Each structure stands twice: as C-alpha cells, then as structure tokens.
Amino acid sequence: MNSSHTFLSHPNASLSPSYERLKEEHEVAMLGGGPRLGSRDNHCDQHPQGDPVPDHVVWSLFNTLFMNFCCLAFMAYSCSVKSRDQKMVGDVTGARAYASTAQFLNILVLVFSLLLVITALIVLFTTLPQLSI
C-alpha cells in the first residue's frame, strides 16, 4: 500500500516549500518576468552596461495617434514595443537596435508631418486672397 502511494504522489512532494518558491522565482526570472512581491528590487542588475535603453513608446504612441504619416508611426510604435520586450528579456543589444529604428521612424514621421502642415498652410494662405476677390 505504501509503495503505490509513493508511485501516485507528486515527484517533488518531499521537497520543502521554500525550495518550490525559489524554483518558481527562478523560472519566472528566466522567462523575463518582473520582480515578485517580497523579492529585492535591484535595478543595477537590469542594465549592467550603464545607461538604460530608451524605448520611445510614448513618443511612438503620440505619433501614431496624431501624426500617422503613411503608417510610419505605427511601425515606430511596433519597434518600440519590440524594444521594450527585448529589454524585459535582457537582450540589451536587440533592445537598442529596435529603439534606434523606432527613434529614426519617429523623427521621419515628425519631419514629414511638419512639412505637410507647412505646405498646407502655404497653399491656404496663397489661395485665400484669390478667393476673396
């Protein structure tokens, strides 16, 4: 009777609860999860190379909502989210690559949108006196 009970029981049933908690925290950390409640929050371990990687999510979201020129701002937002994902996983090189692409696309969207607004104002002010005659 005792041998069948051990056969049907969980293989880790004899392990202590603290080991199970540590094992679970290690698995979450390996998958890129954030700090758990009760664990120490050490920001120095996240970016050992120095400065944190900017992901430009807010700038990309603003451009997507208000200045989406030829869907370039949506592509910038996509790169920003990928940069944030890579940063959470711990791939700083990939995060920097996606962040620089998002920054370039955001600058491109800003320049094109400003040129579009300036061109529209020039056309408006040059045709407005002709319409009042």
Tens of pLDDT, residues 38-91: 444 444 444 455 568 898 999 999 999 998 888 999 999 999 999 999 999 989
Statement to judge: residues 34 and 87 lie in one domain:
no
Statement to judge: residues 38 and 91 lie in one domain:
no
Statement to judge: residues 110 and 81 lie in one domain:
yes
> What pLDDT sits at residue 56?
92
Statement to judge: residues 14 and 38 lie in one domain:
yes
Statement to judge: residues 114 and 67 lie in one domain:
yes
- Residue range of the domain that includes 11: 1-43
Cα(95)–Cα(66) distance, integer angstroms: 25
Statement to judge: residues 115 and 100 lie in one domain:
yes
User: Could you give the percent of the chain with pLDDT greater than 70?
Assistant: 61
> Dihedral of CA 46/29/54/37: which sign?
negative
> What pLDDT sits at residue 44?
44
Statement to judge: residues 59 and 34 lie in one domain:
no
Query: Which residues have CB under 8 Å from 25's CB, separation 6+?
Result: 36, 39
Statement to judge: residues 31 and 86 lie in one domain:
no
Statement to judge: residues 59 and 39 lie in one domain:
no
Statement to judge: residues 63 and 103 lie in one domain:
yes
C-alpha dist (Å) from residue 101 to 43, 80, 123 = 25, 8, 33
Stated length of the chain: 133
State the total domains in the chain.
Answer: 2
Statement to judge: residues 85 and 129 lie in one domain:
yes
Statement to judge: residues 20 and 54 lie in one domain:
no
More confident residue, 120 or 39: 120
